[in-house]
């Protein structure tokens, strides 16, 4: 059995404050050995000025965010997905949104950079979003084989682009940290995540930001864990904290045998 855990947060612009929240939540949640703990998008810095994340961007392999997450993974002997946090790029005016996976020994196992930028208009109190103004898009599909299963990494707006998930090939668990807005969340969050779980026949762990943030941005919450059949195994509405589910990864095989979608697919991605 594998314990899948999603942490719902109302993150602030203050890195140390957010890291302390993660540490406190993990201490009180009694995280099991080899659990997969997934943090939300922008967990370490959110709700401030547009350039706020650039100011706290780290060099890959160095910095307080990476050090603390590595130490927590080692302390609890679990896997931690970093949600996203800002990492420096060659462009001094932009960072990348890094979604890193740390293993039970504290080692860095995978590093995904968010590909799809949230450049949209939304009928909410923010109105216009242009993520590409400060964030450099990634260009690599990332999956990683671990003793608890094959894990695919994606972030928030990525969920709307099924080609990305086709390109992942065979995965057991999809992690999708997010900061979905209140308006888009209430319209599409559950439908999109269930579609990804059903089409990939995999478990989905999707932690979200929740509530009203310092800059007035509203996020939807409803962090959720889904089965390969699309069933809800656990969901946290709007309050902060953990939602978890204990799953048997091998149960995917029965679903795949009964409905071999991947074998029947006549439009396979050239990445597979």
Point out the residues that are catalytic: 41, 114, 156
Distance, in Å, from the CA atom of 11 to the CA atom of 31, rounded to the nearest integer, reads 21
**97 by DSSP, 3-state: which?**
strand
CB count in 10 Å sphere of residue 1? 11
Residues 6+ apart with CB under 8 A from 157: 114, 116, 117, 118, 131
Give me 256's structure tokens: 């795949």
Distance, in Å, from the CA atom of 153 to the CA atom of 151, rounded to the nearest integer, reads 7
Q: What single string gives the DSSP state of each residue in 147-216?
A: TTEEEEE--GGGGG-HHHHHHT-S-SEEE--B--BHHHIIIIIHHHHHHHHHHHTSEEEE-BBEEE-TTS
Residues 6+ apart with CB under 8 A from 119: 129, 130, 131, 132
Distance, in Å, from the CA atom of 144 to the CA atom of 74, rounded to the nearest integer, reads 19
- From residue 117, how far is each of 2, 75, 256 by CA, in Å? 32, 34, 32
Distance, in Å, from the CA atom of 269 to the CA atom of 59, rounded to the nearest integer, reads 33
- From residue 237, how far is each of 4, 89, 223 by CA, in Å? 17, 35, 7
């Amino acid at each position: 059995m594998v314990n899948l855990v999603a942490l719902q947060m109302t993150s602030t612009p203050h890195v140390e404050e957010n890291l302390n929240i993660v540490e406190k939540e993990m201490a009180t949640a009694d995280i099991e050995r080899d659990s997969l703990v997934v943090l939300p998008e922008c967990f370490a810095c959110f709700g401030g000025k547009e350039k706020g994340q650039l100011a706290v961007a780290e060099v890959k392999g160095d910095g307080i965010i990476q050090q603390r997450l590595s130490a927590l993974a080692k302390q609890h002997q679990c896997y931690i997905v970093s949600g996203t946090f800002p990492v420096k790029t060659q462009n001094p005016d932009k960072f990348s949104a890094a979604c890193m996976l740390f293993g039970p020994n504290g080692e860095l196992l995978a590093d995904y950079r968010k590909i799809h930028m949230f450049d949209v208009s939304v009928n909410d109190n923010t109105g216009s979003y242009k993520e590409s103004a400060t964030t450099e898009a990634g260009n690599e599909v990332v999956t990683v084989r671990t003793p608890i299963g094959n894990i695919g990494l994606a972030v928030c707006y990525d969920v709307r682009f099924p080609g990305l998930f086709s390109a992942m090939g065979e995965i057991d668990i999809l992690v999708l940290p997010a900061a979905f807005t209140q308006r888009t969340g209430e319209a599409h969050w559950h439908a999109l995540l269930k579609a990804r779980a059903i089409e990939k026949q995999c478990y989905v762990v999707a932690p979200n930001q929740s509530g009203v943030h310092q800059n007035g941005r509203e996020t939807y919450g409803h962090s959720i864990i889904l089965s390969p059949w699309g069933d809800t195994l656990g969901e946290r509405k709007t309050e902060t904290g953990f939602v978890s589910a204990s799953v048997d990864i091998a149960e995917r095989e029965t679903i795949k045998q009964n409905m071999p979608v991947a074998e029947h697919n006549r439009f396979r991605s050239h990445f597979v």
